[in-house]
Every structure is written in structure tokens, then in C-alpha cells.
Structure 1
């Protein structure tokens, strides 16, 4: 009974905040007042607290621009957690644009939607992403291409690291004479549930894997609450016209995998 009451209260608060925040964000996107990153950060901060997610952060997003954050991916809650920390936009799969509610939220946060299996579209979208980076927007790429079970880091796909290349040669990049894109590894690890350390089996509580239904997973997270996550921002890796995206992808992947193992072995 308590779990269902909690679910109802959380959904009510999110609904009210959405009805207020969506019109304000539309105005922000059209006029720049308030800053387009302000409302998403406030909204996700509220949502994170309602979900009962506590965040421990080590490091910080780099001050240098252009900045591409490259993270492992466990669940949709990764977006809530990262967005509550700083203004940022995301690289999302194209089909997410049509999702009810979540697709609208992604558009309002200025996500770039990509079709990974269509070369011509991918090139156009990489250029769009490159322009956004060159203009100073902090973009987040979940480089595994899907979600994991929260226990491992899967191989990073190097294709969208081409966004860094696109930023260097985009119209904005040329106009601003950008010579380096900073790619920063970000590690996300869910470590505790109700204050108790998660084991390998319990860590899947946080994970939203593959084609699992979103609504039951969302309901389970709301009813359970009290989950801890650690977010680590590593040292940025410079990307220039001479950089090889596959090499950089492997380097970033190794950093994230090592940090994930360290955190899960000795969570704070």
C-alpha cells in the first residue's frame, strides 16, 4: 500500500512540474530566457530526489569547450542523474523521438536523434552534432549503444565518436577556428539499495536492459526508492584532426571500465 501511495505522489508531482516546466522551456528555447539548460536541470534534480536517488560525484565536467561526455549506460535514470548535475544535451536513438512523454522531454532538452544504420542520415546527424559541440553545448554520448546490467561495461562503438571529427570541420567549427574537441570519460555505477551494498544480482534492479518494458521498471524504482549511484568524471582526452576515432574510443572505454570495476569493488 505504501509503495502505491508513493508511486501516486511521485507521478502527481512530476505531472504538475511538467505542466509548469514545459511551457517555460518552450519559451526558453525560442528566446534564450531563461537559459535553455536551466529548466531541464531543475526538473531532473526534482525527479532524482522524488525517485530517491542519491548521487556521489567525483571529478567534474571539464571547463574546456567543445566538450563531449562519453559514458557507460545502465538505465534511463542515467539521464536523470547526469542532467541534475549540469546543463547538457544527449545523443539519442532516432526512435526515441516518437516515444510518448519521454520523446517530448528529449526534444525539449535539445537531444540529437541519430539513425545508426543509415549512412546518409548518420552523416547529416553527425554534422548536426558537430555544430552543437562547436557552439559550446555539452553533449552526452552513451557509447555502448545500449544498456548493460550495471555490472559490466560493454564495448564502445566508435561510430559516433565521428561527432568530434564533425565538430572540427562543421561550419561553426571553421568559423570559430576550433582545433580540439575535449572528450571526457564518465563512469556511472549504481552501488546501494536502501543503504545496503548491491550485489551482482541486485544491481539489475537499477538496470533497464534491452527491450524491457519501461512502465513496470519505472514503477518498481518508484516503489523501492533509496538508491545510491556514483558518477566519476575522468580526465578529458583531446581529439584533433590527427586523432583516430577507434583509438580514442578504446582509450575512453578502458578508462570507464577500470573505474567501474574500482567503484563496484569498493563503493563509498
Structure 2
């Protein structure tokens, strides 16, 4: 996960999203006293959950159910409710899970449905609170400014897939606001091809209570973690929709696999030019 203005390397994906995208998702927050109570309750729940984080590292029966429950509660502490739809979640080992990338919140949104190891920017390990969670969840760090390490990361993902672990990656390579999106980069799909393991695409979208698209959860441009958290916990409620798409077999061509998964995640919208808004 990365804010798209961090690096200047021409190869690295960059989103066209900026602060205007965040303002497009503004919503009424309510009376100041109600907002203060809302923030206090959510902050208390978040602190309690962070204190219980080490429990996630304990090997135990039903650990995946515990992780899903933890992620759902963490979403609740941020003012986010989750809705899951689509196909069944198959109980397979060694699955690469992919989705579009809007925010660091995606980690909990995906984890509430299919928990696993995440491929995330190395800096995340140093974030307050979330860094501990990242280490316990055995995040596979990627240094986006050091492209020479990319084959090593792909190899690490393939190794975990062969070992039967679920790995989650965001093939866009950077965050977008949720109204616009970027192409799926094929690099991470090479791990599924090498390991001969299937890919599970998930379609993530964030909404207001009335169902309209929301950018409140977006983490883009010059945004900071604290300002991103503040937007979410101040708002009345945000919904994340997770739609489970059809499982994709790896095949032998990572570009074909990436294209199939992008088509599954975008649906009809994949025929539009990348970077254009999905909705008016």
C-alpha cells in the first residue's frame, strides 16, 4: 500500500487521484456533540482491539475465523460496515487473492473475508499500531523504490502459495480514490503461475449509507494516515462492499491471468480507459 506521490521513478504506477477526489466523497457528520461521542466510542474499541492483537499470532483451531472476526471489529471501530456478496468462498489452500486498491483499510476489508499474508509497502511495518499488526500477519514487504527486489518478493509469494498459505496482493501497485482505478500489473500474478495456484479476485467498493460511492476511505496523494483515520471515524457510517468473483486458474501467461482478474474485478467498467471515473 502506498500513497502515489511517494516515488518519482517513471516505472512506478502513479494515480491521477488527488485531494479533489477526497472532497468528492464528503458527507454530513452530524452535531458536534454526537461526533465527539462517536469518535470516543470508536477510538476506545480500536485501542482494545490493538491491545488484543498478539492473540492473532497464537496458532489455534479456527484461527482464520478469529482473524475474520478481528478484521470486522476493526472495521467497525473505523465506522465501516461490511457487506459480502457473490460466489462462495472455497476452502482451498494456496490461493492468491487480488483486488483493487483504495486504502490501507483494504487490509481489513479483505481480511474480513479471506484473511492471509499481505504484500504491502515496507514502511507499513513502522506505522503506529498497524505496524505490529502487519508483523503479526506476516506481511510480505515490498520496497517500491527498489525494483531489483521485485523478483525476490514474487518468489516469496510463490513460496507461500506452494506451502498452502493465502496471500493477498493489490496488482494496481498504488492506491486510487475508488471512483477511478489503474491497470493490474502482471508481476504478482507470476507467483501464481510459478506455484500453479488459483487466483481469487475480489471487487471492493466503498459507499455512503444511501449507497452512493464514497471516497472517505481513500488514501491518496499527500494524505496522511491520521487524516485518513480522522475522516472515517468522524463520518456517520461507511460501507464496504466485497463481491466474490469467480476463481481464476493460473494458466501459463501472467499477462493473460492479470487481464482475466482485472476483467472480473472491474466487470463492464474494465472496458473504460484506466484512470477514468467509474461513476459520474
Match of 1:257 in 2: 266
Per-residue deviation, 1:230: 1.6
* Structure 2 unpaired stretches of 5+: 1-32, 271-277
Change beyond 3 A, Cα 1:24–1:228: closer
Give unmatched runs, 5+ long, in structure 1: 169-179
Structure whose residues are more often strand by fraction: 1
Q: 1:182 aligns with which of 180, 190, 198?
A: 198
Give the CA RMSD over aligned residues: 2.4
Tell me whether 1:88 sits opposite 2:116 in the alignment.
Answer: yes
Equivalent-residue separation in structure 2 for 1:214 and 1:233 (angstroms): 28
Superposition TM-score, scaled by structure 1 size = 0.80
- The secondary structure found in structure 1 opposite 2:92 is coil
| Alpha-carbon distance, 1:249 to partner | 1.0
Equivalent-residue separation in structure 2 for 1:96 and 1:52 (angstroms): 22
Q: Does 1:122 align with 2:147?
A: no
1:53 corresponds in structure 2 to 80
1:42 maps onto 2:69 in alignment: yes
May I ask how many residue pairs the two structures share in their alignment?
240
Deviates more, 1:7-16 or 1:66-75: 7-16
Contact persistence 1:162–1:245 (CA under 8 A): yes
Measured against aligned partners, the alpha-carbon deviations of 1:125-180 in whole angstroms (never above 9, x if no partner) come to: 222211211122111111111111111331111112222244x2xxxxxxxxxxx3
How big is the shift at 1:221?
A: 0.8
* Rounded Cα–Cα distance in structure 2 between residues aligned with 1:120 and 1:181: 25
Conservation of the 8 A alpha-carbon contact between 1:44 and 1:83: yes
Report deviation, 1:113.
0.9
1:236 corresponds to which residue? Answer: 247
The structure-2 alpha-carbon separation of the partners of 1:53 and 1:157, relative to structure 1 and needing over 3 Å to count, comes to same
Structure 2 residue matching 1:181: 3-state secondary structure: coil
Q: Distance in 2 between matches of 1:260 and 1:225?
A: 29
Q: Do 2:177 and 2:219's aligned partners in 1 also have CA atoms closer than 8 Å?
A: yes
Kindly state the Cα deviation for residue 38 of structure 1 after the two structures are TM-superposed.
4.8
Structure with bigger RCO (C-alpha 8 Å, 6+ apart): 2
Equivalences for residues 84-163 of structure 1 within 5 A = 84-163=112-191
Query: Contact conserved, 1:153 with 1:260, CA < 8 A, in 2?
Result: no
1:210 maps to 221
In the alignment, is the contact (CA less than 8 A) between 1:96 and 1:102 conserved in 2? yes
